[in-house]
Amino acid sequence: MARPTTKADLMEASKNNYEELKGFIASMTEQELSTPFDFSKDEKKKEAHWQRDQNLRDILIHLYEWHRLTLDWVASNQKGEAKPFLPKPYTWKTYGQMNVFFWKKHQNTALEEAKEMLEQSHREIMQLAERFSNEELFSKGVFDWVGNSTLGSYFVSNTSSHYAWALKKLKAHRKNCKNMG
């Protein structure tokens, strides 16, 4: 599906991609769950996240933390507290360091806890998106705190697109596990 540009598409893509991700996770074997991720042999997988995330928990926590960023950013700005999307000291040039911070923060988080955290934050972000109109989500200039983008683009990036990213990574891990066996 193309990147959502309407509220209806956002809600549908987010729901569908989340359900697909959950279904894939439910189908993961004990071997897939217990084998650390290793994408080092694939030259196409150069982005930092291919090295950072070591297991399913790491991916779920990553999704959860980006949900929290979105939820907190919207809540603060709607209350009139001007707050940038990325917390200080991070910028769009250094957000990779923030992702590592999230990764380190959750190394003692259990997989089941990570699943529950993501389930809760997914519910919250979907409820929040539901409260906005199509125009509020996908028209530029509606909220000055969003900048030159649309509010909806943040929701897309942190729901449907992020779920697709996670699924792609888990499928690559499954392929690696099959090639080991």
145 CB contacts (<8 Å, ≥6 apart)? 77, 82, 83
pLDDT tens-place string over residues 116-149? 999 999 999 999 999 999 999 999 999 999 999 9
Amino acid at 89: P
Q: Please give the average per-residue pLDDT across 55-84, as a whole number.
A: 97
The answer to whether 90 and 97 are in contact (CB under 8 A) is yes
Give the orientation angle of helix 151-158 with respect to helix 7-27, to 10 degrees: 10
Percentage of residues in the chain having pLDDT higher than 90:
91
| DSSP designation for 19 | H
Position 164 pLDDT exceeds 70:
yes
Cis ω for the linkage preceding 4 (within 30 of 0)? no
- Domain 49-180: homologous superfamily in CATH: dinb family like domain (1.20.120.450)
- Domain boundaries of the chain, sorted by first residue: 49-180
